[in-house]
Amino acid sequence: MSERGEKSDTGKAEKKAALVTEITPQSEDFSRWYLDVVRRAELADYTPVKGCMAIRPYGYAIWELIQQGLDRRFKETGHVNAYFPLFIPEKLLMREAEHVEGFAPQVAWVTRGGDEDLEERLAIRPTSEVIIGTMYARWVKSWRDLPVLINQWANVVRWEKVTRPFLRTTEFLWQEGHTAHETAEEAQEETMRILAIYKDFAEKELAMPVVDGQKSESEKFAGASRTYSIEALMGDGRALQSGTSHNLGQNFAKAFEIQFQGRDKTVQHAWTTSWGVSTRLIGGVIMTHGDDSGLILPPRVAPYQVVIVPIPRGNWQETVLPKAKGIQAELQRHGVRVMLDARDEYTPGWKYAEWELRGVPLRMEIGPKDLEKSSVMLARRDTREKLAAPMDGLTVTIVGLLDGIQQALYDRALRFREEHTQRVGSYDEFKAVMEGRPGFVIAGWCGSANCEAEIKGETQATLRNIPFDSRVAEGRSGQAPGGEFVAGTCVKCGRPSPGEAWFAKAY
Ligand SMILES: [Zn+2]
């Protein structure tokens, strides 16, 4: 820092940081910290509509990057986008019994249009299996019409009593994929393909490690045969279900008469799937990576990957500013998202604190002294490490650093999860872990809903999922510290257990 010869600015920056931050420390109140970050980083705001948030431009830009990353993956695997109505006639919604029962408490209804009472109430979609299934019944006639691989980017409404921006809101944005297939095997393959896409996306783009596995009967989607999820661990040790993929079997096809003439000329019901992720992922990013100074964004979903802060000294507008603009243009040509913060009315120190709070992965400081030395000063948001970088090859340096930050954030989050994952051999141990430092607990489970409910009642921990090949799943490779797994017994009742399940307190 002293090499810069601009110590006074740095000193001011530290003082200003205290003023600008206004963020509750995580250790004091994680939930408060989260709300402070959402508000101060200008991701979202409360509205006069109860339980509904306004997503501000900076938050929406993150959502757009999430959309792009997922949309590309969906299209690469043969899916196309379409759009279906917001309203669902009541009779249609009632057709799949389990589905209705699961969603009824959360459905918002339209009973009036203009000045007329409606003959039939309209539900505002809580999810679209019903309306999309109805349309598929018209579109699918023969095995030649299959598979149908459609995704919809949309909003849905679920009436919630307790809401929290991004994590649980009455109206939220998501994507919902709905596919129809000729055989049970193809539907299962599709369900798994999507789960793998979600995992890949969460880990590569959001730098958020996830555990993928199957949900228990009691946690599965209403109307599904099998539900699979990806589960991430947040900075406070609570789990976040971050995406789900459902094999719906023939349940919806039978309720909505999605039938086709098979290759053998017999009339058969299609096999369907549905899958979704939502703006909840933004909440996941905030709580996976953020610190007491605010947001830390993985470069791949950062609206600005680099912020350039010119140091206003001397005739900086004739010297420093043109150089800064040149660097910005050069970086943009290489696909880097850059903000040049040349605002006169704020000091560099204020800007450092502001962009730190808003999670920009890399800051570039450039002043007259830097020009003399033909270099710039770079500061990483994740490690706060500062380094002088020569102008020569600056773009290559920055692109490399951004990749490094992306990887470092993933590694850090994975390490955190490993440190907060414990395998337990007895129920006493299970309870002790849950009362102490929260995180994932891996334990044997017999498959009974009773044991699951009792565990939840007594420890608040829910069964997050049963990882594939759970006997050798991640975390078992010696990285998760803790007790010996007593092979084949349920942690609650001691009866035989086919594998292990991951438990945690969850959002
Ligand atoms: Zn049991």
Q: Please state, in angstroms and as integers, the Cα–Cα distance from residue 93 to each residue in 108, 249, 489, following that order.
A: 12, 18, 41
Please check the confidence at residue 250 and state whether its pLDDT lies above 70. yes
pLDDT value at residue 302? 98
Q: How many angstroms separate the alpha carbon of residue 502 from the centre of ligand 1?
A: 14
Please check the confidence at residue 78 and state whether its pLDDT lies above 50. yes
Please check the confidence at residue 312 and state whether its pLDDT lies above 90. yes
Q: Which residues contact 146 (CB under 8 A, 6 or more apart)?
A: 140, 180, 181, 182, 260, 270
Residue 487 — pLDDT band, cuts 50, 70, 90? low
Q: How many angstroms separate the alpha carbon of residue 217 from the centre of ligand 1?
A: 14
Mean pLDDT of 221-247: 96
Please check the confidence at residue 152 and state whether its pLDDT lies above 70. yes
Whether 417 contacts 208, CB under 8 Å: no
Q: Which residue has the tokens 């390490």?
A: 415
Residue 96 — pLDDT band, cuts 50, 70, 90? confident
Structure confidence by residue, pLDDT tens digits, 358-391: 999 999 999 999 999 999 999 999 999 999 999 9
Structure confidence by residue, pLDDT tens digits, 396-444: 999 999 999 999 999 999 999 999 999 998 999 999 998 887 899 999 9
Q: How many angstroms separate the alpha carbon of residue 406 from the centre of ligand 1?
A: 41
pLDDT value at residue 475? 39
Q: How many angstroms separate the alpha carbon of residue 286 from the centre of ligand 1?
A: 35
91-95 — which CB contacts under 8 Å span 24+ positions? 91/120, 92/130, 92/131, 92/134, 93/123, 93/130, 95/130, 95/255, 95/256
% the chain with pLDDT above 90: 85
Q: How many angstroms separate the alpha carbon of residue 450 from the centre of ligand 1?
A: 7
Supply 327's token pair: 């660097």
pLDDT value at residue 472? 39
Angle at 288 between CA 285 and CA 289, to 5 degrees: 85
Q: Which residue, 242, 77, 86, is CA-closest to 152?
A: 86
Structure confidence by residue, pLDDT tens digits, 265-274: 999 999 999 9
Q: How many angstroms separate the alpha carbon of residue 495 from the centre of ligand 1?
A: 6
Residues lining ligand 1 (ion), CB within 5 A? Answer: 446, 448, 451, 490, 492-493
Q: How many angstroms separate the alpha carbon of residue 414 from the centre of ligand 1?
A: 30
**229 φ, ψ to 5°?**
-145, 165
Q: How many angstroms separate the alpha carbon of residue 461 from the centre of ligand 1?
A: 15
Distance CA 237, CA 280 (A): 17
Residue 21 — pLDDT band, cuts 50, 70, 90? low
Mean pLDDT of 12-30: 70
Mean pLDDT, the chain, whole residue set: 92
- The two beta strands, 87-89 and 53-55, are unpaired
Mean pLDDT of 78-87: 98
| pTM exceeds cut of 0.85 | yes
pLDDT value at residue 483? 42
Q: How many angstroms separate the alpha carbon of residue 37 from the centre of ligand 1?
A: 41
pLDDT value at residue 269? 98
Please check the confidence at residue 150 and state whether its pLDDT lies above 80. yes
Number of Cβ within 10 Å of residue 56's Cβ equals 15
Supply 382's token pair: 């994740």
pLDDT value at residue 172? 97
Mean pLDDT of 463-484: 56
pLDDT value at residue 480? 36
pLDDT value at residue 184? 97
Structure confidence by residue, pLDDT tens digits, 119-149: 999 999 999 999 999 999 999 999 999 999 9
Q: How many angstroms separate the alpha carbon of residue 491 from the centre of ligand 1?
A: 7
Please check the confidence at residue 5 and state whether its pLDDT lies above 50. no
pLDDT value at residue 256? 94
% the chain with pLDDT above 70: 92
pLDDT value at residue 99? 82
Q: Please state, in angstroms and as integers, the Cα–Cα distance from residue 284 to each residue in 165, 373, 422, 507, following that order.
A: 11, 41, 21, 10
Distance CA 294, CA 356 (A): 7
